[in-house]
Amino acid sequence: MLRGMHLTAIGDGNMLLEPTDGLDPSSPDEYIAELTEVLQSEGAHTLMYDLKQVPLIDQVYYTWLVYLNNLCRLTNVELIIVNIRTTVAFSLAMSLKQPPPFKCSLDVDRARQGITITLK
């Protein structure tokens, strides 16, 4: 387990990232080396980021998600945001000036089936 996140291989090159209370989205550089190493050692092609326990996405957290998306793209891994709460999605959509660079899915099962939404 990386500090602030729980990473689980869930088969077929899919990894599930569940953030914990220890995650510091204001310091994304602290996670790059270890996260890249885990994704590569597991042969991941998809990283599913579970927002089920995240009550709010502010500008700092959104910047973290964009940063993580960029890291994933550099390592040829697709980032899919899963389990985002409706109220969180709505408040995020109201604050964005452009579509997010990552895909979203209702839950992990749908993401594994390739059912995703690209916000435009």
**With 70 as the cut, is the pLDDT of residue 11 above it?**
yes
Q: Is-contact 48 17, C-beta < 8 A?
A: yes
pLDDT digits (tens, 9 = 90+) for 34-91: 999 999 999 999 999 999 999 889 999 999 999 999 999 999 999 999 999 888 888 7
Give pLDDT, residue 39: 95
Give pLDDT, residue 101: 92
Give pLDDT, residue 60: 93
8: phi then psi, degrees, rounded to nearest 5: -135, 130
Give pLDDT, residue 88: 84
Residues 6+ apart with CB under 8 A from 69: 79, 100, 101, 102
3-state secondary structure labels for all residues of 96-111: CCCCCCCEEECCHHHH
CA-based nearest residue to 19, from 39, 1, 5:
5
Give pLDDT, residue 98: 87
> What is the pLDDT confidence band of residue 119, given thresholds at 50, 70 and 90?
low
**What kind of fold does domain 5-112 have according to CATH?**
Transcription Regulator spoIIAA (3.30.750)
d(CA 106, CA 40) in angstroms, rounded, equals 26
d(CA 97, CA 47) in angstroms, rounded, equals 25
